[in-house]
Amino acid sequence: MVLLGFSSCSNDPNNIPGDTPCEYGTPYATYEVKGKVVNKTTKTPVANIQVKLSLNREGASDNLPTQSGQSTGAGEFTVSSIGFPTVDVDYKLTVTDVDGPANGGTFKAATTDVSFKDIKPVGGERWNAGKATQTITIELEKEEP
């Protein structure tokens, strides 16, 4: 076991000091963005807007996983992504009108950056660093006919 980098492993639930528990995996945290989509002019909620969350990193591939959801009748949404816990995590939130003129008209797509730079995940243990949450309001402009 020493050759593999393990000094020792124990199934002892009391985890004797100096004994290393057997664990495999990578530390992770959940990064959640929740909020509301509203009409920029009237400030009323906009339903059925597609919301996509993707990692915003220079050189990041378009092939990275994107998490998506849709705004409710009250314009509310929640999307989240699991990533490596670091001090400087940035995401890109893209919102798109997918139902055309229904629900108040056709709206222009919008993109905004969401930074978790000063928000640390909380509530985790062991490999799970916990969850960090940002709450935002997205104001959409109507498309001109």
- Residue 60 has a pLDDT of 55
State the Cα–Cα distance between residues 31 and 104, nearest whole angstrom. Answer: 30
Domains of the chain: 26-140 (2.60.130.10)
Q: Assess whether pLDDT exceeds 90 at residue 34.
A: yes
Q: What is the mean pLDDT of residues 37-58?
A: 90
- With bands split at pLDDT 50, 70 and 90, how would you rate the model's confidence at 87? confident
Q: Indicate if the alpha-carbon torsion angle 141, 38, 74, 33 is positive or negative.
A: positive
Q: Assess whether pLDDT exceeds 70 at residue 71.
A: yes
Q: Assess whether pLDDT exceeds 70 at residue 107.
A: yes
Cβ 84 vs Cβ 57: under 8 Å: no
Exposed (0-12), middle (13-18) or buried (19+): which is 35, by Cβ within 10 Å?
buried
